[in-house]
Amino acid sequence: MVVVWGGWFMNREVRIRIRDWETWLKFKEFVISKHGKLHSALSDELTEALAHYMHTRTSSKQSNPNPNSRIAKELSKLKEAILEKVEVGGSIPKPMLTSIIKQACNVYDERAVRSRIHALLASHFLKPDLKLDPDGNIFRVIGGDPN
């Protein structure tokens, strides 16, 4: 399954594996009933659906880590470590962020590093800087409060 992504980087492709084929077919039927076509409308509707999903998830408590989890306890220490290297508004490449996470949290597994990046994104401390790197490997520090 290939989904062509709209936007300013129009030629990007995203490959996904659909686990619920019936839902995918219903979504395509919805797009056809709304637009009368799939071409171009599918990517627009999928982008809108993803944005809506992320908005509803980040406004609910599910986007915040469990306050008793190890990641939640490490988050303020991790934010302080990042702010020692990069000021608010500055950019941080993923390799540098990965190095800071490994040192500050004493984790070395890529999944553990990835979960800390997701926690930093969910807490709105970082955001991908897609203007500098459309692949999302550069982050902008947007939250100055380490707590």
The stretch 64-68 carries a mean pLDDT of: 59
Which pLDDT score, from 0 to 100, does residue 5 have?
A: 47
Is 7's pLDDT higher than 90?
no
Residue 15 sits in which domain range? 2-62
Q: Do 84 and 116 share a domain, yes or no?
A: yes
Tokens of 122: 């969910």
CB 79 within 8 A of CB 72: no
The pLDDT value given to residue 58: 66
Q: Does 51 share its domain with 73?
A: no
User: Are residues 51 and 85 both part of a single domain?
Assistant: no
pLDDT of residue 15: 82
CA 112 from chain centre, in angstroms, equals: 15
What confidence score (pLDDT) does residue 1 get? 47
146 DSSP assignment: -
Task: Please indicate, yes or no, if residue 146 is contained in any of the structural domains.
Answer: no
Please say if the pLDDT value at position 64 is more than 60. no
Residue 124 counted as domain residue? yes
Whether residue 147 is contained in a domain is answered as no
Whether residue 32 lies inside any domain: the answer is yes
Same domain, 49 and 88: no
94 assigned to some structural domain: yes
- Reduce the DSSP state of residue 6 to 3 states and report it: coil
Q: What is the pLDDT of the chain when averaged over all its residues?
A: 83
Give mean pLDDT, residues 11-32: 86
Domain count within the chain: 2
Count of all residues that appear for the chain in the document? 147
Q: Are residues 55 and 80 in the same domain?
A: no
Residues 101 and 42 in one domain: no
pTM of the model as a whole: 0.55
User: What percent of the chain clears pLDDT 90, i.e. is strictly above it?
Assistant: 42
Domain CATH for 100: 1.10.10
Question: Is 108's pLDDT higher than 50?
Answer: yes
Determine the average pLDDT of the residues in 69-92. 89
Q: Are residues 11 and 52 part of one domain?
A: yes
Are 60 and 53 contacting, i.e. CB atoms less than 8 angstroms apart?
Answer: no
Least confidently predicted of 22-31, 67-76, 135-144: 67-76
